[in-house]
Chain A
Amino acid sequence: MSNIIDLTLSELVSNIKNKKISSNEATSAYVERSKKSKNLNAYNEEAFDIALKKANDFDSKPDFNKKLPGIPIAVKDLFCTRNIKTTASSKILNNFIPTYESTVTQNLWNEGSILLGKLNCDEFAMGSSNETSYFGNVISPIDKDLVPGGSSGGSASALAAKLTPATIGTDTGGSIRQPASFTGTVGLKPTYGSCSRYGIVAFASSLDQAGPMTRNVKDSALLLEVMSSFDNKDSTSVDFKRPMYSKDLSKDIKGKKIGIPKEYRVEGMSEEIEKLWEDGKKYLKDCGAEIIDISLPHTKFALPTYYIVAPAEASSNLARYDGVKYGFRTVGDNLIDMYEKTRSAGFGDEVKRRIMIGTYVLSSGYYDAYYLKAQKVRRLIKNDFSNTFQKVDAILTPSTPSSAFKIGEKSNDPVSMYLNDIFTVPVNLAGLPGISIPAGLDKKGYPLGLQIIGKSFDEQNILNIAYSMEDKINFKFNLKEWWMNE
């Protein structure tokens, strides 16, 4: 049998169910590997001892009817976890220990999964490279000085380096799909309303959505099946009949109409990405799908719209971090002074920048010019998609305009950093599901991803398409374990 850490999530589940591997063996293997991988800086908080104890508990009284029986999983440090420090990678939440559990993580534990630890991310999920974390940047296992992407960078890095069999992230403008693309893994952002936002540190409420990050499509289907639930505690949670995504997974996509949006062929796009996209179309045709050229005319306005809507919501969502109820506080001469000093010292530069943008676009005299305008353009972007989905079943695009960049390469130029999310952001604005799958390597040997966008609540369809393509692509990346210390 191959190494435990080389198994996919689904394989690990069946091995545990068949009693070939115990939860303790699986957990120990991941704990050991995680301990040797500190160079990646993927973990904010390790829960290894508790995890091993829980694994033993599972083994002494196993329930093999669970979907994730005794499976250790590390999660993004944006999910509140009971009695385990939750920081959103921010100094302002340093030492915050929730007394409650997010719905999504609770769903994992309910199905037998075990928390390995909390994974680094961009501060409050604001970033595309994991460089904004208060706990330092995460390194990609793909190469030494490469960013893993962001904001779910710790999740992507841990997943690609096999420190966890699967993980979960959150995606506000591409924070699952972009790092998945950068690290040769699969990342799915579900339809807005599919996974509960209860207990997830909020960034931009109308865009945030949790989703799975896995080594293959089948694992994503399984994890989504567990994560997604209707939740009364979230007013935006949608009550629909959730399919058994993993059970219903199929490679039959014959006759599916796949749209290729011309607006995603952006200026200066590399030949590698062009080729990747072309290859994708070919694979789809090989699977019997029909390729249709489409237009999403407002695509280029998505990013500026996003950079009004998301910071506006964030500026308000982050007002609760004021040094009064929890987290970090700086002493001040009076209440206002305390607020200003606490928030100035507690937030990092990117978070402050976005709070300032958000405050500005909502402030009196600017609301109509910016925020209201953005809401209107958001409507146009959503309409682009709904019109298109009259004609096609799904849309194929590259996940990112380039492969992973170097640490520090874009950190001084916010706009060029923001442009990294150009293909992922429209999906969040329209609330649609999107999945990124590894599809090839660039000249430097770094992974590139393709994105499949689906209709609302049509996750099964994009999973099936991704599943078929995955087979044809047969992505391989030779992971050199350069970061490990013995």
Chain B
Amino acid sequence: MPATTMTMAKALNDGLRRAMEKDPKVLLMGEDIGRLGGVFRITDGLQKDFGEDRVIDAPLAESAIVGTAVGLAIRGYRTVCEIQFDGFVYPAFDQIVSQVAKMHKRSDGVYTMGLVIRLPFQGGIGAIEHHSESPEPYFAQTAGLRVVSCATPNDAYWMIQQSIEHDDPIIFCEPKSRYWEKGEVDLDGPPRGLFDAEVRRAGGDVTVIGYGSSVKTMLRAADTAASEGTSLEVIDARSISPLDLDTMVRSVEKTGRVVVVQESPHTASIGSEIVAELTQRCFYSMRAPGIRVSGYHVPYPPSRIEDDYRPSVDRILDAVDRVMGYDS
């Protein structure tokens, strides 16, 4: 398998480049994405190579970034919108929920909303307010949208291309704290299905499910648990909406226990949905109630104390102990 090692940021850059080479209708639009290459340099060099008409430095207005992408979609273009940070997506919320999500339906299938909204999300970078949020549950609630998240450079490379090619609008959540971590990217593929979960580590005692930056934390927790004699099966959900419940059910039918990890608060969260579905589908296999390890029900805290907000290895292991305790 011809593979190369690169950071997630470079993998996204290469994925965007490849998508733009394949389809001249693919455009990028966002704040500071051209000359600067984006505040995270995800679009570094793309404006130089594809021109200002295809890599559009947008005025600073998120609703317009998304709203004009709707018009471009009606005209047959596939726009990848970059929202600079998670906490800045809310000015575009109206366009995303009222227009992007509903235009295909409203036009009886005539309009195809093949656009991608890239959202650097989750915390862990020591930022100030509005730069560390997890807004994905808002979008998962909205029919007409799909929400995915990459956790590795390989997924970043392939999932961004798959999202751009997809005919439905996709909220593409990028764990910004993992942008600079390296991993192997298989440039030949074929990639895993965009909406399929992936078992990142096989285990038999507890199924641990998460996405984005939580995947690495879960794997570290699995290492520690293994040294203590507990075997965790780690699942990267990859697709947040729709969820690949079949993969999760197969795992929980084996382990009988589930812990879900997420940075958003747990009320009406992705984790709530996963636990509810698994309880319904695997009730007779379950040996303990599903537990969510989440952010607290507080505004994202000042980053000096964010490590006590974000799910940590210790909090995951504590949840593992709790689900293991029910039948011991």
**Same complex origin of A and B:** no
| Chain A residues within CB distance 8 Å of chain B | none
| Chain B residues within CB distance 8 Å of chain A | none
